[in-house]
Amino acid sequence: MPPAPPLTLPRMVTRAPTMIDPDKDEDVPIDSELVPSSLADIAPILRVANEVEKDNPWVAYLCRFHAFEKAHKIDPTSRGRGVRQFKTYLLHRLEKEEMETNSLLAKRDPREIQKYYQNFCEKNIREGQHNKTQEEMAKIYQIATVLYDVLRTVVPYSKVDEETEVYAKEVERKRGQYEQYNILPLSVVGIKPTIMEQPEIKAAICAICKVENLPMPRIHPTSIPHNGNVITPEYRDKPINDIFDWLASVFGFQKGNVANQREHLILILANMDARTRKSEHYEQLDSGTIYQLRDKIFKNYRLWCDYLQCKSNIKSPQSSDRQQLELLYVALYLLIWGEASNIRFMPECICYIFHNMASELLGILYSNVHPVSGDTYQSASHEAFLKDVVTPIYEVLQKEARRNKGGKASHSAWRNYDDLNEYFWSKKCFNLGWPMDKESEFFVHSEDISAANMRHDQTTVGKRKPKTNFVEIRTFWHLFRSFDRLWAFFILAFQAMVIVAWSPSGSITSIVDADVFKGVMSIFVTSAFLNLLQAALDIILSWKAWGSLKISQILRYLLKFSSAVLWAVVLPIGYSSSIENPNGLVKFFRSWDGDWRNQSFYNYALAIYMLPNILAVVLFFFPSLRKFMERSNWSIIRLLMWWAQPKLFVGRGMHEDTCSLLKYTMFWIMLLLTKLAFSYYVEIFPLVGPTKLIMQLTVDTYAWPELLPNATHNFGVIVAIWAPIVLVYFMDGQIWYAVYSTIFGGILGAFSHLGEIRTLRMLRSRFESVPIAFRERLVALPKEEANSSPLDDVAARKNIAKFSQVWNEFIHSLRLEDLISHRERDLLLVPYTSSRVSVVQWPPFLLASKIPIAIDMAKDFTRKEDELFNKIQNDEYLHYAVIECYETLKEILTDLLDDRDDKLVISEICERVETSIQHRRFLIEFRMSGLPGLHDKLEKFLKLLLTDYDDVELYQSHIIIFLQDIIEIITQDVMIDGHAVLKKAHPHHLVDESKREQRFEKIHIPLLHNKSWREKVVRLNVLLSEKESAINVPMNLEARRRMTFFMNSLFMTMPSAPEVRNMLSFSVLTPYFKEDVLYSWDELNEDNEDGISILFYLEKIYPDEWTNFLERINDLKLGYASKDRMELIRHWVSYRGQTLSRTVRGMMYYRHALDLQCFLEYAGDSAIFEGYRTIDRSDLHNKAIFDYSQALTDLKFTYVVSCQVYGAQKKSSDARDRSCASNILNLMLTYPSLRVAYIDEREEKVGGKSEKVYYSVLVKGGDKLDEWQVAPGILSLNEVKVDYDIT
């Protein structure tokens, strides 16, 4: 076969300023994210070129050449934004590579790229499918697909090898099995991941895949011209895999939306079903699970139907498969919601859409014809729902958003989501029809009003629909209107207290006096005038919304005002009729009643006036009755509720239970009684006497006769002394509220055990009870363990072992955040309890300095042995420390020695110690004066065991020497008869002294690499070497706060934790716009106007954390030496600022905690005692435990960051934006379970014109985008952005 001719580059692209400087970035791979949006199809080709460049530069060159040709075919005239610059840069790069490989091009054989393709497929596909993950295989199949496309452009079809075709067909056949996925790899074949083997997942998938009895949608045939004739193929059914495929085919939902909602529904069903099933082995969903999900999802829809008095379209004919039909309804609603874009903020609009589409669904299932046209249903286009339903409504939103003018327009000039959504609160929404009539009033818009003709707060009129129900008017009168009941109560109470205080006795009991009581009854006259003010304000402040109000609402406002006017006239007249000797204003009103002298008139009027208030009080204490009345459609009840409050869809029936209302009422009764008593006896009553005295004084000459010419009662003085009291009276309610909230909050907190531990001393004193509290609060125990006593030895050890896993992970997180040092970490860690130690192993910060204290106590002790032991046992932690050190040292030495006779020596020494203690001969058989020397030698020996080494033989010899020294000190300096122990353990050494080997020279050196064993050495070293109390550990205030918070959370009153499998799933969404992800190195070192950089400032603000950070990164054992020091410093600083990285790290603690809890629930005793961090994860059984934990965690926790402009940041030429995009990608790679959602903008040709198309994208760590979904558009970001405080 002759060699292929060299490829030549076309010259039709002119030079232009490039996106990247070619001279500066010659060796930089072409970033696929730099591809203009209109050339998005070539991005995968460039990714593959970068992937294969190291293996075969020539193949990478061919990939780029293929990308260039494809880009030129897509946009030959370079009209798209950035296309000319990108093609110029790519051309420059190809010319450079062509010159470098020019000598090789002529020698290249077409078989070479085929050979490379075959080797790639053989190595990565056939061999890799057994040892690579689903994500890796998906990437490999993508590369193989692109390589074959490139191969076909280089090699003629006739020269393609048969083996190459075999590989290509295999790739094409299996590519769909390795698609990228979000959480559930639904298309995986072969060995399935653990999450797909969960019974609840299998049952949910089985339920949604039941489509056998559904009418299959038919694909519309395309006419084909043949020999001058047009041939129309027959209709054929479209292949369907599950109900989501079926709904997408019928209604035209997008592929990305279908994939997302399919996974969404499976996860919801699986989580709900797992909570209701006791068994972990089943194949079918519980029917109650589906009905429970239906009731939750359609709760608002059914309320909407009841409100509009229309029949629900969720129907289940008798002949139907009810479970399947319910799932179809749920899936339809989720698909509508998933593609609704900003319409999700209009829930009743979504109800309207679902209402009509559910009717269509029912028509398809039971008649297979359209309910309007009667035509047979056929497969819809994949964007039909977006174009026909979502986009028209979205355009209304977009036009209204433009009227906002960036927040500068008046509130009355544009409609927000609530205004548009309220259109669907009335039956007139059905005038839209279905399919929706684009000429209906909802879609009508007037042109934008020019600024010259726009008045402030002008309400636009004309064809455009006005705002509904509420138009904002800014005035201070809202203070009264919004809190009218509170203001009215204070005013009436003040009037009553002044009347009582003004009585001759001034006592509160004088209210029973007839004259005083009649005076107090005047408060109802004041109430009538306050109601009149309220009714007037209601009309004035809602005036601009009257254009959109119903006649019934306007009538209500007018009747309310008329009623208020009537009572403002009737009550004063009635009150005046009850006064015997009227004067002044009372006499004026009394003249209105003519000859009517019946004094009971006022009482009857009050009874009628108070009737609505009495009814409201009764309903207040019966919330269930009020809830029924607010949601009732009975005419009489609707009339009553219409008068009480305007009928709105939202806020109906939202009431607390009776018990909560009683507690709430009692709280406010006590608060108001205290406030009124204080006001009466401290503020009002003391001023009445001086006021009367001042009013009795006669004014002969007045200083300002021009201002008050007829002042005779010193009104100015009275106003001056009463004004501050009145102001305090109206303001001190907030003070009393703060006082009562503090008192009641403190009482509730005390009963709920909130914040009991406030200091480290309190933490230390209660640490012993922490494992029991942990067992009661956070451990979901099986029945056999739940019935066991927490004081049982086996149960207690297992409980402490579980607690130690959580506590140690908490301490390690503090160390990773540099809140504590290595020393503090070692002092705070709790060992995984071992059965070889007979006492509880508490953290060293409780046992610190106990061993040196015990040695000092014992070395010069000369009294009775019992006194020494009593002193040790009186201090519980001292007793624990002594026994643990003894037993741990015995365990370490026994494990380290490899010779049986040497182990017998250790065993014999320990037996002598234990026997002497039992027979009260310890101080007789052992010298306490030798303990300090033994202590010093043990310290050095343990430090040697923890030291890194290069020369194994030299290191081993040092250990042997120290070990021999320790045995020598024990047998000669501490034991009275130590030689007897050696002779008893080594009897054969007496035979031939000249040939015997040295004792204690055979050690098990590989044991030094065992993590669990090294942890024991570290702990023993800490217990022996710490000579000072650790009462101030940790030193960092933030670490102390977290520790006390953690402890308090265990002691507070809360429900017991369920198993992870039975817990509610939850998702976390963090909004992100353009805030910092990580601070750049230049930002850290840039000086401000004071000459201080961020890094320098933080070093001084957090000196202990900076020291801990340096200690951590300089520790060779942690592996930070190979990492970029600058990058580590950037992370350290960023975690102390308001950055996205800090937020993501904090949220991922939730996932880590769930993973750990799964491990504690499903791991066996051996795995728990081995430790979460030290367990051998390569063991098949242990690996299965961790895989199961990961699967459950994926089911229960989802974290998404909505990076709104991530797509624009990736393509931006701004260095800061590109840095943010790179940092976000690094976050996804660091946390594989993190998801990023954003809006991507592309230019595509629609009808021969280039238009912007917006995609809603969900991505995870990797190279491929998971779910693409076309969005109807995008609002201006400054209209939807808020200030996010990322913490």
* Mean pLDDT within 698-708: 60
Q: Which position has the token pair 């109470």?
A: 493
Q: Shortest CA distance to 1232 belongs to which of 1152, 1131, 1129?
A: 1152
748, 776 Cβ separation under 8 angstroms: no
Least confident of 40-49, 252-261, 1140-1149: 40-49
Between 26 and 201, the more confident residue is 201
In this predicted model, what pLDDT tens digit does every residue of 1205-1225 receive, in sequence order?
Answer: 888 888 887 888 888 988 998
For residue 649 the two structure tokens come to 């869809």
* Mean pLDDT within 230-240: 57
Give yes or no for residue 28 having a pLDDT over 60: no
* Mean pLDDT within 878-906: 88
In this predicted model, what pLDDT tens digit does every residue of 103-150 receive, in sequence order?
Answer: 555 445 667 778 888 888 888 777 666 667 767 777 788 888 888 888
What is the residue-averaged pLDDT of the chain?
A: 80
In this predicted model, what pLDDT tens digit does every residue of 558-597 receive, in sequence order?
Answer: 888 999 999 998 888 888 776 655 554 455 445 544 444 4
Percent of the chain at pLDDT > 90 equals 20
* Mean pLDDT within 968-991: 73
Angle, helix 1215-1230 to helix 1140-1162, in steps of 10 degrees? 0
In this predicted model, what pLDDT tens digit does every residue of 290-347 receive, in sequence order?
Answer: 999 999 999 999 999 988 889 999 988 877 788 899 999 999 999 999 999 889 999 9
327, 207 Cβ separation under 8 angstroms: yes
Count of positions (residues) in the chain: 1287
Confidence of residue 1033 (pLDDT cuts 50, 70, 90): confident
Bridge-based pairing state of the strands 218-219 and 1267-1271: unpaired
Give yes or no for residue 879 having a pLDDT over 60: yes
Strands of 92-246, DSSP E = 218-219, 224-226, 229-231, 236-237
Q: For residues 38 and 1244, what is the distance between their CA atoms, to the nearest angstrom?
A: 5
Q: For residues 816 and 1135, what is the distance between their CA atoms, to the nearest angstrom?
A: 11
Q: Which pLDDT does position 375 carry in this prediction?
A: 56
Confidence of residue 286 (pLDDT cuts 50, 70, 90): confident
Q: Which pLDDT does position 1287 carry in this prediction?
A: 28
Q: Which pLDDT does position 1103 carry in this prediction?
A: 94
Q: Which pLDDT does position 186 carry in this prediction?
A: 84
In this predicted model, what pLDDT tens digit does every residue of 364-407 receive, in sequence order?
Answer: 887 755 555 555 556 677 788 988 999 999 888 888 888 877 77
All residues at 6 or more sequence positions from 37 whose CB lies less than 8 Å from its CB, including other chains: 80, 81, 1211, 1240, 1241, 1242, 1243
Give yes or no for residue 691 having a pLDDT over 50: yes
Between 187 and 1, the more confident residue is 187
Distance between alpha carbon 662 and the CA centroid of its chain, in Å? Answer: 35
Q: For residues 323 and 216, what is the distance between their CA atoms, to the nearest angstrom?
A: 19
* Mean pLDDT within 952-964: 87
Q: Report phi then psi at 230, rounded to 5.
A: -105, 120
Q: Which pLDDT does position 1144 carry in this prediction?
A: 93
Q: Which pLDDT does position 900 carry in this prediction?
A: 85
* Mean pLDDT within 1248-1264: 76
Q: For residues 525 and 579, what is the distance between their CA atoms, to the nearest angstrom?
A: 14
Q: For residues 755 and 763, what is the distance between their CA atoms, to the nearest angstrom?
A: 11
With H, G, I as helix, E, B as strand and everything else as coil, classify residue 708.
Answer: coil
pTM of the predicted protein model = 0.82
Dihedral (CA of 1226, 1231, 1234, 1235) sign? positive
Q: For residues 1259 and 1256, what is the distance between their CA atoms, to the nearest angstrom?
A: 10
DSSP string, 234-275: PPEEPP--SHHHHHHHHH---HHHHHHHHHHHHHHHHHHHHH
Q: Which pLDDT does position 304 carry in this prediction?
A: 92
Angle at the Cα of 131 (from 127 to 135), degrees rounded to 5? 105
Q: For residues 1020 and 850, what is the distance between their CA atoms, to the nearest angstrom?
A: 12
Q: For residues 223 and 243, what is the distance between their CA atoms, to the nearest angstrom?
A: 29
Q: Which position has the token pair 């923890």?
A: 946
Q: Which pLDDT does position 860 carry in this prediction?
A: 80
Give yes or no for residue 83 having a pLDDT over 50: yes
CA distances from 775 to 550, 728, 782, 1159 (A): 60, 52, 12, 15
Confidence of residue 604 (pLDDT cuts 50, 70, 90): confident
Query: Residue 193 forms beta bridges with which residues?
Result: none
In this predicted model, what pLDDT tens digit does every residue of 202-212 receive, in sequence order?
Answer: 999 999 998 88
Q: Which pLDDT does position 509 carry in this prediction?
A: 84
In this predicted model, what pLDDT tens digit does every residue of 835-863 receive, in sequence order?
Answer: 578 888 888 998 888 888 888 888 888 77
* Mean pLDDT within 1143-1162: 91
Q: Which pLDDT does position 1265 carry in this prediction?
A: 43
User: End-to-end alpha-carbon separation of the chain, Å?
Assistant: 66
Give yes or no for residue 705 having a pLDDT over 60: no
